[in-house]
Amino acid sequence: MKSTATFLQRVVILLCLFLTVLSVESANAQQQKQATWIWYPGDYEVWLSNQMQNRRTERGTFFPPFWRMDNHYVLIDFHKVFDLKEPEEIEIFTEGRYNVKLNSKMVNGTPKKLTIPAGKQKINIKVYAQDRVPALYVQGKTIATDASWLVTFEDKEWIDESGKVSDQSGTEWLNAGTWNFNAPDNLPSAFKLPTTPQKAAKIDRKGQSILVDFGKETFGYVKLHGLKGKGKVSLYYGESVEEAMSTEHCETLDHLDIDQPQAKDYVLEQSQAFRYVNIQFEPGMTIADVSMLYEYLPMADRGKFRSSDEELNKIWDISKYTMELTTREFFIDGIKRDRWIWSGDANQSYLMNYYLGFDSPSVRRTMLALRGKEPTTTHINTIMDYTLYWFIAINDYYQYTGDKHFIQQFYPRMQSLINFCLERRNQDGFMEGMAGDWVFIDWADGLSKQGEVSFEQLLLARSLETMAECATIVDDKEGAAKYAKLASDLKAKLFSVYWNEQKQALVHSRVDGKQTENVTRYANMFAIFFDYFNESQKQGVKQNVLLNDKVQKITTPYMRFYELEALCAMGEQDYVMKEMKSYWGDMLKLGATSFWEKYDPTESGVEHLEMYGRPFGKSLCHAWGASPIYLLGKYYLGVKPLSPGYSTYEVVPVLGGLQWMEGTVPTPNGDITIYCSTSQIKVKATEGTGTLRFKSKSKPKAKGASFQSKGNGVYEMKIEKGKEYVVSYKS
């Protein structure tokens, strides 16, 4: 298996290099600008997410989402003004029926090629498609479709009786949406993730059945080699061997009706998630071999981590593989069941992505698919907290990428979504579950969702802060002031309502105007890394909530993510290291080859496979299981942006009990590499201006650097881009 893949990979790499050389060559020869397919921003994401999210089946039965799925605009006008030094010929490719206007005058027919004269020229192309997203690809020498083209779904170009076109438009134009469809025949509507062959690790035959083990959790299309005969073939998929063997209860399966007198390879139509496949076929049929086509989103290998602890390295590798499996057309929750886009799950995928592939297009695609289109009639995924995570994710996206343009384009969608939330507040200004609202928080036994839950108000406050910042970015001064005031009022109010001085904690909720007695971890841990507590509150919460075993424990990696982040934010890296090694390490000990939707150390055996009242309901490959990537990158390697897009950043390495660690954290256009042992820190960054901060028992030394002592043995050093620093210190 490995050699095949490697050989193929080599071919692909060589081919890519060849094509790159070719395209550079041809660009040099012709100075031709590279075109890309463009569309109305957000529409392709909605369309593609419809395709993906409606692929779910449960035991062969179609299982679509339960929230509203939006649709694209069917008729789009694309335009751009060019100033040409000399005439040039353009080629036009579209997805849909189209017409072309040059300087507002219709060009006859449906031109595939057109010569644009020299001078200032406005090209409008209007494309109609019902079944797919209207898309455009124009290639000339200097004219090429890209995100600088403007698009609208209503040009309002009426004419009067004399034929004169209206001159007061009122139409709003956005920049076109793009991804990476950079050739005329690379049609957006034909998008499919690539695949690569994978062999089975083990094949057991027994009469009319074959049990295949692919050695680890994987995703793709099963291939039956040399399938011959007439009759039924059934495939029962399992993330565990128990699941594959349970033809009655496995979550996914396929039944095929085969009639192949001659032996032929047969590839399943639908991709599935599995490690094991239990194949049963009728007498007289033969299957020579079984393999699969592994399906994946190609992504640069950027974030890295290694340390003195082999178990931790394994945790990081399996986390990375879990992210690889769940990063697809979009960031999805898990690969076995839903393959839906969930805002709360995706929020963690985004954060992990910033420390792994830094694939911003995937973040944007996912955020746009989640936001969908107007009108806003329900919470994202119907979940109140998931709407609010969407705002928080915007904030993070801007911090990590510095991409103002995305916020400028989608600020109106942000406004309408926050207005939707604000209109759903009760008379006290708090959000509580109304009919049709799912208050999720976490999968936790007996967790109350009644009344005004403190956690939701906290997320709302953070969302309003995000809105204030975005309003400033788009120069909406009135909005900025309004959202900032709403945020600070809400923060003040939630502390007066939920903070319990005796318990030294935010209580879980208020029901019928009365504080409940219950303290949960959720609001308390978020308030820590939102930096909403004063120092005394922080310490109180740490002792009375986070490190208090009497407070209901978190059993999902989902909320472990934030719990451990809160502890790290308070400098508890040693404690968190132990927790990581115990929680994720225990999953590895139980044979995990990807991380799970939920892990409860008090369960045993097949209990680990159960969820939602179904014996194999649990997903064994869930994005939110991969959080060590984020924790290790942000709180051990210690890298985070201090201003948008890493123009400034900090590196605060914390070993947390390790002997050494090293890694790479990607930035928008570069990366930061760190090595840290108990006596040496090495750091290098290719962009931005950084601050290295660390504790040392002796005065640190480094060639070409000076240190500022910040007291308490803390030192700071400036990191200039392109320079490598080797610091001697004593931990």
Q: Do the Cβ atoms of 167 and 159 come closer than 8 Å? A: no
Say if CB 584 and CB 624 are below 8 A apart. no
Q: How far is the CB of 166 from a copy of itself (least distance, A)?
A: 7
Distance CA 318, CA 325 (A): 10
Residues 582-641 touching a copy of itself, rule: CB under 8 A, are: 611-614, 617
Q: Near a copy of itself by CB under 8 A, which window of 107-115, 535-543, 677-685, 693-701?
A: 107-115
Tell me: does residue 66 bind a copy of itself (CB under 8 A): yes
Q: Is 369 in the site for a copy of itself (CB under 8 A)?
A: no
Distance, CA of 512 to CA of 548 (rounded, Å): 28
Say whether 597 sits in a helix, a strand or coil. coil
In the complex with a copy of itself, the residue whose CB is nearer, 63 or 660, is 63
Residue of 35, 52, 75, 312 that binds a copy of itself (CB under 8 A):
75
> 75 or 519, CB closer to a copy of itself?
75
# residues contacting a copy of itself (CB under 8 A): 68
- What's the min distance (Å) between Cβ of 408 and a copy of itself? 19
Residue 162 near a copy of itself by CB under 8 A: yes
Contacting range for a copy of itself; rule: CB under 8 A; set: 22-30, 73-81, 344-352, 419-427: 73-81
Q: Which residue number, 338 or 671, has a Cβ lying nearer to a copy of itself?
A: 338
Chain mean position to CA 231: 42
Site string for a copy of itself, 46-65 (x = CB under 8 A): -x--xx--x---xxxxxxxx
Distances (CA, A) of 243 to 168, 270, 616: 64, 19, 6
Give me the residue label for tokens 């178990």.
311
Which helix (DSSP H) or strand (DSSP E) does residue 681 occupy?
Answer: strand 680-685
Which residue of 157, 403, 476, 574 would you call a contact of a copy of itself, by CB under 8 A?
157
Is the Cβ of residue 223 or residue 622 nearer to a copy of itself in the bound state?
A: 622
- The residue with tokens 């007695």 is 517
Kindly tell me which residue out of 115, 148, 166, 678 binds a copy of itself, with binding defined by CB under 8 A.
Answer: 166
Among 161, 248, 269, 423, binds a copy of itself (CB under 8 A): 161
Cβ closer to a copy of itself: 116 or 683?
116
Helix intervals (H) in 54-148: none
Pick one of 83, 113, 163, 502: the residue that binds a copy of itself (CB under 8 A).
163
| 177 within 8 A of 68, measured Cβ to Cβ | no
Task: Answer for the pair 136, 128: CB distance below 8 angstroms, yes or no.
Answer: no
Write the secondary structure of 435-504 as one string of H (helix), E (strand) and C (coil): CCCECCCCCCCCCCCCCEEHHHHHHHHHHHHHHHHHHHHCCCHHHHHHHHHHHHHHHHHHHHHHEECCCC
List the one residue from 13, 106, 201, 547 that touches a copy of itself (CB under 8 A).
Answer: 106
| Contact characters 414-453, a copy of itself, x per CB under 8 A | -------------------xxxxxx----xxx--------
Q: Distance between CA 93 and CA 721 in Å, rounded?
A: 43
Residue 6 burial (10 A CB sphere; 0-12, 13-18, 19+): exposed
Q: Are the C-beta atoms of 697 and 723 separated by less than 8 Å?
A: no
Nearest to 288 by CA among 268, 270, 259, 262: 262
Residue number, 47 or 410, with CB nearest to a copy of itself: 47
Distance in Å, CB of 593 to a copy of itself, minimum: 24
Residues at the interface with a copy of itself (CB under 8 A):
47, 50-51, 54, 58-69, 71-75, 97-99, 106-110, 126, 128, 130-131, 153-159, 161-163, 166, 168-171, 374-375, 377-378, 382-383, 433-438, 443-445, 611-614, 617
